């Protein structure tokens, strides 16, 4: 069955008295003509690749080809060894793990696109940090990743998840919504609360453009992974507290799509507007092309 | 609407930095390689729109080349592909054309086959045209493609051969240059077929080209 909206998903959960991940894994198994345990194993393999990318990223401070980025994860790790962050361990780890993954990506290292490579640090950093803090089992982490998967899938049925089509809304923005839902799942929230978290996260990233300097997945993409990881937890905390969005999930997804259509092509991964056309960005670009 | 997998959103496991511009490029290259299905000496890539403007920064050029050479998306040597390529001549053109998808490419093998495709996000791709004929290949199905002279009964000839094998047809798509002119047929299959089936299809009168395009892993 093709689940096309969050409303459909919620109705299914209520009708069958199941969690979102249960509906998602059964649906996936039906579609792929395989067992639920195979779906879960495949999810586990992705989770493992995410953890490997974090591990590799934590050890490396190799710069990218541009020489602009690649050592911030190392910098932040060292800083947190000497001081406590204001927000505590989960937030520290989200920042560090998201940087580790995003920097591994810019080195052309092995990562898991989730939903895209430019946004690859958000879902892993959130799932890993929260599960470490709360001693959450690997099985529940798999539940959380499957939950994230169906959230992204429902959105992608309406909007292509590419910066070139709908701006960064559709990449880091959607990743943040997926991560928000996964946190609520890990902390035992209801399907309704999961979808609220998705809605709250999505509403707050509408209009986010894709204007990377020189077209590289570096500035502002890498640090944005950290910001939107933290953003996901904010949405989850609100939803778990019972806060509700006035605008329902599916209407927010429609808005995301329309906002993407209204967005100038100059701000959709073409490196022809926004930050990529600032004085400094142009200087960086000229230097880079001179050296390559 | 075709049903999508949660693993179209989580995944691919890939070499960075961009799913649409790197992994999508590798997969377009791999798909083109499967379609051409021949040794080649020369390959040319025409990159459109966002592929053209930001391709350098995303390694799109490296990804496309790695793909036609058969590298998988999670191969971490893609970044060194220019050093590893051996005996194949390659070139790139960069074009702006708003009638094309933002992330679009033509891949031309040995000046004789042009394969056009788009990277539609999250590493997903589709091949839209082969030598100017419409196609709709997303790499998810083994696909039998044939070129033939347009005339009555061709679909039934081919589908009968496939039916005898007990393989279900997932979708079928035809296009032609003119009535009675050159036509193409794409048949997406639920199960793989063996080479004997391809040979049988080749023997149908007025079929002049058949290729069996394997799905992407």
More confident site: A120 or B195 = A120
Q: Which of A124, A117, A98, A73 is nearest to A217 (CA)?
A: A117
Of A114, A117, A164, the CB nearest to B10: A114
Q: Where are the beta strands (DSSP E) in B133-216?
A: 133-137, 142-149, 169-176, 182-189, 207-213
Strands of B133-137's sheet in order across: B89-95, B42-48, B103-109, B113-121, B124-130, B133-137
Q: Where residue A154 sits, what CATH number does that domain have?
A: 1.10.4100
Q: Is B102 on the interface with A (CB under 8 A)?
A: yes
Cα distance between residue A92 and residue A243, in whole Å? 25
Report residue B148: phi and psi, to 5°: -160, 175
Q: Is B41 on the interface with A (CB under 8 A)?
A: no
* In a domain? residue A1: no
The pLDDT confidence band at residue A221, using thresholds 50, 70 and 90, is very high
Q: Which of B127, B172, B108, B114 is nearest to B27 (CA)?
A: B127
Identify the bridge partners of residue B113 per DSSP, sorted by sequence position: B109
| Residue ranges of domains in chain B | 6-137, 142-213
Q: Is A165 on the interface with B (CB under 8 A)?
A: yes
Of A160, A178, A270, the CB nearest to B50: A270
ipTM reported for the complex surpasses 0.85: yes
The pLDDT confidence band at residue A292, using thresholds 50, 70 and 90, is low
Pick one of 3.30.70.260, 3.30.70.60, 3.90.79.10, 2.40.50.140 as the CATH number of B142-213: 3.30.70.260
Is A236 a residue whose pLDDT tops 80? Answer: yes
Cα distance between residue A249 and residue A79, in whole Å? 39
Whole-number pLDDT of residue A65: 75
Cα distance between residue B74 and residue B16, in whole Å? 8
Cα distance between residue A33 and residue A126, in whole Å? 31
Are A114 and A179 in contact, with CB atoms under 8 Å apart? no
* In a domain? residue A277: yes
Tell me which chain B residues have a C-beta less than 8 angstroms from the C-beta of A164. Answer: 20, 49-50, 102-103, 121
Of B10, B17, B57, the CB nearest to A149: B10
Q: Is A261 on the interface with B (CB under 8 A)?
A: no
Q: How far does the CA of residue A288 sit from the closest CA of chain B (Å)?
A: 10
Q: Which of B170, B210, B171 is nearest to B190 (CA)?
A: B170
* In a domain? residue A116: yes
Of A31, A116, A118, the CB nearest to B5: A31
Number of independent structural domains in chain A: 1
Cα distance between residue A11 and residue A146, in whole Å? 18
* In a domain? residue A87: yes
Query: Residues with Cβ < 8 Å from A18, sequence gap 6 or more?
Result: A12
Positions of chain B with pLDDT lower than 50, given as ranges: none
Q: Which of A118, A218, A227, A235 is nearest to A170 (CA)?
A: A118
Give the DSSP per-residue string, A211-226: --GGG-S-TTHHHHHH
Domain that holds residue A66: 6-291
* SS3 assignment for A44-104: HHHHHHHHHHHHHHHHCCCCCCCCCCCCHHHHHHHHHHHCCCCCCHHHHHHHHHHHHHHHH
Please enumerate, as own/partner, the contacts of B154-157 that have beta carbons within 8 Å and a separation of 24 or more.
B154/B183, B154/B185, B154/B204, B154/B206, B154/B207, B155/B185, B157/B204
Structure tokens given for A74: 């190392």
Q: For residue range A269-284, list pLDDT tens digits in order.
A: 888 899 999 999 999 9
Burial label, B179 (beta-carbon count in 10 A; 0-12, 13-18, 19+) = exposed
Report residue A94: phi and psi, to 5°: -60, -45
Number of H helices, E strands in chain B: 6, 11
B76–A2 CB contact, under 8 Å? no
Q: Is A124 on the interface with B (CB under 8 A)?
A: no
3 state DSSP class of B200: helix
Is A66 a residue whose pLDDT tops 90? Answer: no
Cα distance between residue B202 and residue B207, in whole Å? 6
Q: Is B49 on the interface with A (CB under 8 A)?
A: yes
A31–B54 CB contact, under 8 Å? no
Q: Specify the CATH architecture of the domain B6-137.
A: 2-Layer Sandwich (3.30)
* In a domain? residue A192: yes
Q: How far does the CA of residue B204 sit from the closest CA of chain A (Å)?
A: 34
Q: How far does the CA of residue B50 sit from the closest CA of chain A (Å)?
A: 5
Q: Is A176 on the interface with B (CB under 8 A)?
A: no
The CA radius of gyration of chain B, in Å to the nearest whole number, is 18
Of A145, A162, A271, the CB nearest to B121: A162
Q: For residue range A127-151, list pLDDT tens digits in order.
A: 999 999 999 999 999 999 999 999 9
Q: For residue range A44-65, list pLDDT tens digits in order.
A: 999 999 999 999 999 999 998 7
Is A290 a residue whose pLDDT tops 80? Answer: no
Q: For residue range A162-190, list pLDDT tens digits in order.
A: 898 999 999 999 999 999 999 999 999 99
Of B6, B103, B123, the CB nearest to A153: B6
How do strand B169-176 and strand B182-189 relate by DSSP bridges? Answer: antiparallel
Residues 175-204 of B with CB under 8 A from A: none
């Amino acid at each position: 069955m093709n689940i096309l909206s969050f409303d459909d998903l919620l109705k299914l959960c209520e009708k069958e008295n199941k969690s979102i991940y249960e509906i998602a894994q059964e649906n996936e198994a039906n579609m792929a003509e395989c067992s639920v345990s195979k779906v879960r194993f495949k999810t586990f393999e992705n989770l493992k690749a995410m953890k490997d990318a974090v591990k590799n990223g934590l050890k490396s401070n190799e710069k990218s080809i541009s020489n602009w980025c690649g050592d911030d994860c190392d910098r932040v790790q060292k800083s947190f060894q000497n001081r406590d962050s204001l927000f505590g361990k989960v937030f520290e780890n989200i920042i560090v793990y998201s940087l580790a993954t995003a920097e591994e990506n810019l080195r052309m290292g092995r990562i898991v696109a989730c939903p895209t490579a430019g946004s690859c640090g958000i879902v892993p950093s959130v799932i890993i940090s929260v599960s470490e803090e709360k001693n959450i089992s690997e099985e529940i982490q798999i539940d959380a990743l499957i939950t994230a998967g169906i959230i992204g899938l429902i959105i992608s049925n309406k909007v292509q998840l590419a910066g070139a089509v709908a701006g960064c809304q559709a990449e880091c923005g959607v990743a943040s919504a997926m991560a928000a839902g996964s946190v609520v799942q890990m902390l035992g929230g209801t399907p309704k609360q999961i979808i609220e978290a998705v809605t709250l996260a999505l509403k707050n990233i509408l209009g986010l453009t894709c204007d990377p300097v020189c077209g590289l997945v570096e500035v502002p993409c890498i640090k944005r992974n950290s910001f939107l990881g933290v953003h996901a937890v904010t949405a989850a905390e609100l939803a778990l507290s019972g806060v509700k969005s006035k605008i329902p999930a599916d209407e927010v997804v429609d808005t995301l799509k329309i906002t993407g259509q209204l967005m100038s092509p100059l701000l959709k991964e073409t490196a022809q507007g926004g930050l990529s056309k600032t004085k400094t960005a142009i200087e960086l670009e000229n230097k880079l092309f001179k050296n390559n | 609407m075709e049903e999508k997998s949660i693993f179209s959103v989580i995944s691919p496991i890939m070499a960075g930095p961009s799913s649409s511009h790197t992994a999508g490029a590798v997969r377009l290259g791999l798909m083109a390689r499967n379609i051409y299905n021949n040794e080649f000496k020369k390959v040319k890539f025409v990159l459109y729109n966002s592929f053209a403007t930001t391709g350098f920064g995303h390694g799109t050029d490296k990804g496309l080349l790695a793909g036609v050479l058969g590298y998988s998306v999670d191969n971490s040597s893609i970044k060194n592909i220019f050093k590893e390529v051996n005996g194949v001549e390659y070139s790139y053109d960069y074009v702006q054309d708003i009638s094309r998808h933002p992330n679009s490419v033509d891949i031309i093998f040995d000046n004789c086959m042009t394969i056009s495709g788009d990277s539609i996000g999250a590493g997903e791709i589709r091949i839209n045209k082969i030598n100017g004929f419409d196609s709709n290949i997303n790499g998810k199905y083994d696909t039998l493609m044939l070129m033939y002279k347009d005339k009555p009964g061709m679909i039934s000839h081919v589908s009968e051969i496939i039916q005898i094998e007990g393989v279900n047809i997932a979708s079928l798509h035809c296009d032609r240059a003119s009535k009675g002119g050159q036509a193409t047929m794409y048949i997406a299959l639920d199960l793989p077929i063996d080479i004997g089936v391809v040979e049988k299809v080749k023997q149908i009168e007025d079929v002049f080209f058949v290729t069996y395009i394997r799905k992407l892993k």
